[in-house]
Amino acid sequence: MKLDRHSRERVISFRPDGEYYYQKGMAAYQKGDLYRAKKFVERAVDFNPDEPEYLCQLAAILAELEQYEASNQLLQKVVSELDESLTECYFFMANNYAYLGRYEDALREIKTYLALEPRGGFSEEAHELYRILLLEAPGAVREEGGYIADHEKGRKALEQGQYQKAIYYFQKVIEDRPEFWAAYNNLAIAHFSIGEADKSFRILDKVLGQDPGNVHALCNLATFYFHLGDFRNLEKQMAILDKLYPFFPEHQSKLGATYFFVEEYEKAFRWLKLADRFGGFWDQIFYFWLALSAYRIGKTEEALKAWARVDFFSETPFHPFEYGKVQEMLWAKDAKANPLARSLLRHVALGGQLDAKIAALFALRAFGDADVRKLFADIATNRREKRTVRLIARQLAAALENRDAEAVGDRRLEIMQILEEKIGGGRPLIDQFHLYGWWRFLFERLEADIDPSDVRAWAASLDYLRRKEQHQPVLQEEIAGQYETSADRLRYCLNCWERWMENRITARLSDHRKDGP
């Protein structure tokens, strides 16, 4: 088509400048196209070589492309020659040095950032990185005092479920550093964990009142709403999280973990995968989040790669059966088809502590396939296993073949079967795996052909002891009725337990006297 003279006069010439290329670079960056983003932002820098915003963004892209040295050169130029107020450059340089394994250099930069910005936008992440670097740097001097050490003690207590201890240390930190938001966020988690949700929300309100963009606080709110079943507020909170696009890997990890906990696995995988790509200091729990998220969205190969790094939670302070998300995975309808669930149960059955080993055997019984039957047969004939474990595996294998514990002729299995039905609705009691240890104790002291009328009484006695141990109010008559047995038979069983425990204590005292002081 030919333009006439008037049309040509209306044509406006377009000359792209630095801002044009920068915006195109940012659009590519938001889409995750890092190479295209790098190309456009480099063009922007060609137009404006001393524009700090362009240089910082290019440094961020280079870091994500694992070009850490080049990234640091740009960041150093910004704070040394162009704008010394951009102190976050020191924080990003510390991250880059950490990825390169230059821990002493990373420590130097992180100390510089914390000295200049004790309450900066990345102070929470900076303290976490500082803690990690102290462990990684071979020549680093470990600090035993101060608020960093107190925060670390509180964090460890929180991980181990020692919530009152954690609260004490986090409050101590806050007294020393009133604007150390990491302590507030962890304090909120500790209070929520002991049922003090109101205190948790007040703490997070304070954090967000002073730091409205605090990613940890925003994510904690979503997790709390989910656990409380407050889906109206959860929906509002998730709308806020959906608008976040964090650059820092720790923020990406927190966001991914939050999506994982609220069961939005597509988003969880996206952010956890991104954090894994550019993080580098993740623990086994992180890789469990990544593995299960990948499995839930059909990325089985990715799931197995991440699962290999979980290493069966070998470095965590708790047993994997104590972790709620593991329990959910093992109880899920697809547990039999889930290679992560099967792998964990098999590992515990072959090498776990005795209580958990037996719990794993009962959980695997529900799978009932050829692989499980072979595993039971291997354990039943393994002379290195305890005799009781071998016998239980043999009886469970027989129950699989008959599809009925009663048909095996060992009514001791029926006791555990009744407990699983009454307490867990028919599913294995993974969340109370120590109960299998009590049942094993009973298994070793009863005959296989105990009177059928006593099976429910023994099951009731185990449940009674469980509730007493958990400080739940319970009456013998009430629990006897629930298990369809008489209060007299239940009392008889409890008297047997009392006698066995007394004999056990006497035997231990006797052994101690023999050993001498």
- Mean pLDDT (the chain) is 86
**Same domain assignment for residues 122 and 155:** no
282 found inside a domain: no
**Same domain assignment for residues 136 and 182:** no
**Same domain assignment for residues 327 and 226:** no
pLDDT for position 5:
42
Among candidate residues 112, 129, 145, the one where a domain is terminated: 145
Among candidate residues 203, 219, 244, the one where a domain is terminated: 244
254 found inside a domain: no
Tens-place pLDDT, residues 348-380: 999 878 999 999 999 999 898 899 999 999 999
**Same domain assignment for residues 435 and 466:** no
pLDDT for position 516:
46
407, pLDDT greater than 60: no
pLDDT for position 327:
95
Q: Per mean pLDDT, which of 152-166, 258-272, 317-331 is the most reliable? A: 258-272
187 found inside a domain: yes
**Same domain assignment for residues 496 and 439:** no
The kind and range of the H/E element at 427 are: none
109, pLDDT greater than 50: yes
**Same domain assignment for residues 153 and 139:** no
* 130 confidence band (pLDDT: 50, 70, 90): confident
**Same domain assignment for residues 479 and 407:** no
Among candidate residues 118, 145, 172, the one where a domain is terminated: 145
More confident residue, 147 or 214: 214
- Number of structural domains (the chain) is 4
Return the C-alpha torsion angle 378, 381, 383, 384, nearest 10: 20
More confident residue, 179 or 511: 179
Domain around 402: 319-450
474 found inside a domain: yes
* 11 confidence band (pLDDT: 50, 70, 90): very low
**Same domain assignment for residues 108 and 195:** no
176, pLDDT greater than 90: no
150 found inside a domain: yes
**Same domain assignment for residues 480 and 433:** no
Question: CB under 8 Å, gap of 24 or more: what pairs does 462-470 form?
Answer: 462/415, 462/419, 462/435, 462/438, 463/419, 463/422, 463/423, 464/490, 464/494, 465/438, 465/494, 465/497, 466/423, 466/432, 466/435, 466/438
**Same domain assignment for residues 326 and 418:** yes
Tens-place pLDDT, residues 310-356: 999 988 878 999 999 999 999 999 999 999 999 999 999 998 789 99
pLDDT for position 231:
95
**Same domain assignment for residues 410 and 339:** yes
* 403 confidence band (pLDDT: 50, 70, 90): low
